Structure 1
Amino acid sequence: MLFFRKRKGVKSLEQERAKYGTLNHRNMGVTAIEIDKIVGSVDRYKDFDQNFEWLHRRPDARSRAIEQAMSRGEILPPIEVFELDNKYFVVDGHHRVRAAKRIGQEFLDANVTKLIPTSGKYETA
């Protein structure tokens, strides 16, 4: 008998930010971030599993083209992320995150906006 485990989606930024109360934000600019610290999405958390594989559809031509370009070492635009508690949530660039994870890339350029709780629960850098 085969058992299929339901794959969990990535984390939702809205659910995570609710734990912190009011948040301020600061644009940190473009920097290389660790792909393993990308844990969620702003609005597509129901589309991808924790490895940024599609939950409900097969990879399309765009997904394959991005993965092939990254495999060839082509420079693609930075992704857009929010950072909360040293974890990243994708605003734009889900396909690039998926491709980077699939080819074993460790870092990805990202335009980072840091979310900073006003409650003092979070250390600012």
Structure 2
Amino acid sequence: MEHRLLTNIISVREFEKALRKGFFGQLIDLFRFGTSHLIPMDAVTSMLGFSSQRAIGRMMVPVKKIIGSEGRAYQFSRRFRPKSTSLKSRWIRIHQAMEEYRPLPPVQLYEIGGYYFVRDGNHRVSVAVAEGIPSVEAEVYSVDFPGSLEGANNLKEIEERIRVVQQKSFFNETGFSTQNNDIFETTFLLGYEKLYRAIRESGLSAERWYGELFLPAIRLMREKEICKAFPGRTCADIFLLFYGFLREADDKDLAKRVFIETARRQRRKPRFSLFMPGK
């Protein structure tokens, strides 16, 4: 009884310490990583599009490589410190179990590009960090991604890593020369995958698709200055916006006229200004 009371007191103190460290750590992480919380896994998987996954099995995983969570990204800091007292009761129970050497089930993690995201066991990882435990036992599921995310500290850097891999895959699959990279440049999430899908859906070879559909559309947009109607977007972006319409239209000349008129209307839309017009 006395031992259980003592471990409870220790666990409460450790939680309060972790909470304080989490508060000050968030300020440091904002400057260091550009974010004060864990990276949400759903944001990363949305960048990947459809990706298969497979079970790897049980292994020891360094806690420093666990950077995100599937469902609790905003409840823990970037270093897995608790951010709210609402986590207190469960966190303390986990800490007490560790203090009393009671067995705990392994955490469940997703692996993407060498980094890990918690599927189940956020509190266990948090307690392990507080106790200075370097690795946790985990059941690991690997999400298919032919690249590395290691060294990326926030979503922006992760997106850039993913974009580079998807761009490389696009050129490998189509056989296009990377010297034409500028014409295919896209800012859309999954933009290169969408371009590749457009080729496959066309029923044409990549070479014919480029010469008969994509290049004429890009030339038309440049000739009519259509891309200027969409600031911050590339011509490949605009192609993707209108692709379905251009592909399905029976009357190609009519499609082009509608395409141009739609862009002109876009250009005439008023832009928001920080400055009030003069009286």
Partner of 1:122: 147
Specify the code of the residue in structure 2 equivalent to 1:101: V
Aligned to 1:105, what secondary structure does the other structure show? coil
- The answer on 1:49 being equivalent to 2:77 is yes
TM-score by length of 1: 0.81
User: Rg larger in 1 or in 2?
Assistant: 2
Of 23, 43, 47, the residue aligned with 1:19 is: 47
Bigger relative contact order (CA 8 A; separation at least 6): 1
- Percent same amino acid at aligned positions? 26
Aligned to 2:67: 39
Cross-structure match for 1:85: 113
DSSP 3-state at the match of 2:144: strand
Residue aligned with 1:17, SS:
helix
- Classify 1:24/1:40 alpha carbon distance in 2 versus 1 (closer, same or farther; 3 Å): same
Where is the helix percentage greater, Structure 1 or Structure 2?
2
Which residue of 1 is the match for residue 58 of structure 2? 30
- Secondary structure of the structure 1 residue equivalent to 2:52: strand
Query: Normalising by the residue count of structure 2, what TM-score does the alignment of the two structures yield?
Result: 0.39
What is the distance in 2 between the residues matched to 1:25 and 1:106? Answer: 26
Whether the 8 Å CA contact 1:83–1:113 is kept in 2: the answer is yes
- Give yes or no for the alignment of 1:66 onto 2:94: yes
What is the distance in 2 between the residues matched to 1:15 and 1:49? 17
Aligned-partner Cα distance in 1 for 2:104–2:129? 15
Give the CA RMSD over aligned residues: 2.1
More displaced, 50-59 or 107-116? 50-59
Q: Please give the secondary structure, in 1, of the residue aligned with 2:49.
A: coil
Q: What per-residue deviation string (whole Å, max 9, x for no partner) do you get for residues 49-105 of structure 1?
A: 112122233542321121132244433100011100111100110110010000000
Give 3-state SS (helix, strand or coil) of 1:60's partner: helix
- Whether the 8 Å CA contact 1:71–1:103 is kept in 2: the answer is no
State the secondary structure of the residue aligned to 2:103: coil
- Unaligned ranges ≥5, structure 2: 1-25, 149-279
Aligned length: 117
Cα deviation 1:18-61 (Å, max 9, x = unaligned): 33333111101111111111100001111111121222335423
Matched AA of 2:54: R
User: How many angstroms does 1:109 deviate by?
Assistant: 0.6
Counterpart CA distance in 2 for 1:103 and 1:68 is 12
Structure whose residues are more often strand by fraction: 1
Alignment partner, residue 107 of structure 1: 135
Asked whether the 8 Å contact 1:116–1:122 carries over to 2, the reply is no
Aligned to 2:163: none
